[in-house]
Amino acid sequence: MGLLLMQNLYLDHPAEEALERFLLHQSPEEEIEVVETHILACPSCVVRLEELETHISAMKTALREFERQTAPTQAAAPSRGWKSWFTMPHLAWASAAAAAIAVVLIVTPQMTRQASPAVDVNLSAYRGVEVASVPEGRPLHVHLNAADLPVGPVQVQLVDFTGTEVWKTDAVVRGDQVNITAPQISHAGAYFFRLYAPEEHDRERQLLREFAFQAK
């Protein structure tokens, strides 16, 4: 995607996914320049970025506690906040110091097809701190809260804590729920189910909901 086209996409505000890639150091080089330029002139996106960082920090804290209980010898290394690695000159509005967050080792889940009884999972938290737990090594009948979303098609994506996609499927909002059957996850860790609106030509997908959970 050319820089001019990317700038046009961000005439309003960067999408949630773009801000998340920025925080996780996963943005393409040309996207970094566009997002940084927008943030320098947009206080509301600064607030969005800081709220997203707070959410990610809370998730890492929960995951660190989970890993402490399952692997007491594993130590978490400190990491710097997003303001400390900003590639452009210092921000005029950066008056508060970014909190240090922990870096934890996440193993990419390996989806397998072994026959195991499926487990019903109901997920309703959206950008919450409380994290639901699901058993690893079992297929999942997942019921995602879709209250207030219009009836119709959606896309469901499963990602690990780094934002790497591990599985996706098409689904339908019906009766205030999205019901899917997901393959089993063979490694413990933190994951997210994301609901997206159907893709539109030349537009970035719209994130509707995100549900955090842990495989144990």
Q: For residues 62 and 38, state if they share a domain.
A: yes
Nearest to 31 by CA among 46, 18, 44: 18
Same domain, 33 and 79: yes
For 47-61, write each residue's pLDDT tens digit. 888 888 888 877 777
174 and 193 both lie in a single domain? yes
93 and 116 housed in the same domain: no
Is there a single domain that holds both residue 10 and residue 98? Answer: yes
Task: Tell me: do 18 and 89 sit in the same domain.
Answer: yes
For 134-162, write each residue's pLDDT tens digit: 988 889 999 999 988 999 999 999 999 88
Q: Are residues 116 and 88 in the same domain?
A: no
State the residue range of the domain holding 20. Answer: 3-103
Query: What CATH number is attached to the domain comprising 118?
Result: 2.60.40.10
Q: Give the mean pLDDT of the chain.
A: 75
Share above pLDDT 90 across residues of the chain, in percent, rounded to a whole number: 20
184, 160 Cβ separation under 8 angstroms:
no
Do residue 115 and residue 207 come from a single domain?
Answer: yes
Helices 16-23 and 43-70 meet at what angle, rounded to 10?
60
Residue 180's Cβ-count burial label (10 Å; 0-12, 13-18, 19+) is: buried
Instruction: Give how many domains the chain has, as a whole number.
Output: 2
- Determine the Cα angle at 132 with ends 127 and 114, to 5°: 120
- Domain end (from 103, 123, 151): 103
Is the pLDDT at 32 greater than 90? The verdict is no
Specify the pLDDT at position 94. 37
Domain shared by 83 and 126, yes or no:
no
pLDDT for res 173: 94
- pLDDT per residue as tens digits for the range 180-189: 999 989 888 8
Residue 171's pLDDT band (cuts 50, 70, 90):
very high
Supply the pLDDT for residue 66.
72
Of 80, 103, 126, the position where a domain reaches its end is: 103
Span 180-206, average pLDDT = 85
Residue 34 or 108, more confident: 34
Looking at the fold, whether 7 and 64 belong to one and the same domain comes out as: yes
Higher pLDDT, 143 or 202: 143
Rounded to a whole number, what is the distance in angstroms from the first to the last CA of the chain? 39
The confidence score (pLDDT) of residue 86 equals 61
Name the residue among 109, 127, 73, 122 with its Cα closest to residue 191. Answer: 109
pLDDT tens sequence across 65-105: 777 776 655 555 555 666 665 665 444 343 333 333 333 33
What's the CA gap between 122 and 117, in Å, rounded?
A: 16
Please tell me which residue, 30 or 9, carries the higher pLDDT value.
Answer: 30
Both 130 and 200 in one domain: the answer is: yes
- Read off the tokens for 151: 């009836």
| Whether residues 82 and 147 fall in one domain | no
pLDDT at 118: 85
CA-based nearest residue to 195, from 146, 152, 151: 146
- Determine the residue type at 180: I
From 50, 82, 103, the end of a domain falls on 103
